[in-house]
Amino acid sequence: MDLNTFIRIFQGFLNESKQKGWMVEILIEEFGNYLASIKNREGMEVQFFMELDLENAVQLSGPTHQSKLNYGVIRREGEGELFAKEVLGAFHQFWAKHSSKRKSFIFLYKP
C-alpha cells in the first residue's frame, strides 16, 4: 500500500468517527506522522497515532522505498481501555472495508 492511500483511509476513519458522535481533533499532521485526539460522548479520550518509520526505510528500486508503519491507540493508564479497544476495532473494520491489503508496510516514492 502506498502512503497516500493509507492517509486517505486514516482521514476517512476520522470522518466516520465524527459521524459516530465522537469528537476528533488533529494534534499532529506532518509527513508520515499523525496524532488525533478522539473523545466519546461520555468524555473519555484516547489518542490515535500513525507513525511511518522513515529512518529504517529500505530502497527497493530507483525511487521506490519500503517502510514499516506503526499505528495504535494511546490512553491513560487505568482509563479508557474499553474505548481504546472500540476505537482500534472501528479502525480495523474501516480499513478492511476500504482496502484489500491490510499490511503495515508502506511504499514511498522519492523522486
The chain-wide mean pLDDT, for the chain, equals 83
Beta-bridged to residue 105, according to DSSP, are: 68
Q: Is 71 exposed, middle or buried (0-12, 13-18, 19+ CB in 10 A)?
A: middle
C-alpha 73/C-alpha 17 separation (Å) is 14
pLDDT at 108: 42
φ, ψ for residue 86, nearest 5 deg: -65, -45
pLDDT tens profile 33-46: 899 999 999 999 99
Q: How confident is the model at residue 107 (pLDDT cuts 50, 70, 90)?
A: very low
Domain carrying residue 24:
3-109
Q: Is 82 exposed, middle or buried (0-12, 13-18, 19+ CB in 10 A)?
A: exposed
Of the two residues 82 and 78, the one the predictor is more confident about is 82
DSSP codes, 44-65: -EEEEEEEE--TT-EEEETTEE
Is pLDDT of 95 > 80?
Answer: yes
Q: Which helix (H) or strand (E) holds 87?
A: helix 81-98
Of the two residues 3 and 30, the one the predictor is more confident about is 30
φ, ψ for residue 98, nearest 5 deg: -110, 5
Question: How much of the chain exceeds pLDDT 70, in percent?
Answer: 87
Structural domains counted in the chain: 1
